Amino acid sequence: MEKEIKIALFSPSSLPSIRSYQRGIKILRKNNISFKSFVDFSESSPSFKAFLFYELITAKEYDFIWAVRGGFGAIKLIPYLDE
């Protein structure tokens, strides 16, 4: 029996449109991919996103962390990851 893969969804920079995000979620569900979304459509500070990212990469719960959208804003997390 294969191990179930668990994926954490995360948004390190700008958010996708809600429509694009929902379309992606629908694809994951259609393919029975186990995931938990940590995407928050309210405005989050870079320090909070860095904290969340750190928590996700150090947790043993998830096999993969998928960025729902990457971009220039992700660089703003770097100073906080060193703390």
Residue 83 above 70 pLDDT? no
What range does the domain containing 18 cover?
Answer: 6-81
Whether 1 is in a domain gets the answer no
Q: What is the pLDDT of residue 14?
A: 86
Residue 38 inside a domain? The answer is yes
Indicate whether 35 pLDDT > 70.
yes
Mean pLDDT of 47-75: 91
Find the mean pLDDT for residues 52-79.
Answer: 90
* Domain assignment present for 56: yes
CATH of the domain at 26: 3.40.50.10740
Calculate mean pLDDT across residues 3-11.
Answer: 91
What's the domain count of the chain? 1
Q: What does each C-alpha distance from 21 to 4, 14, 51 come to in angstroms? A: 23, 12, 22
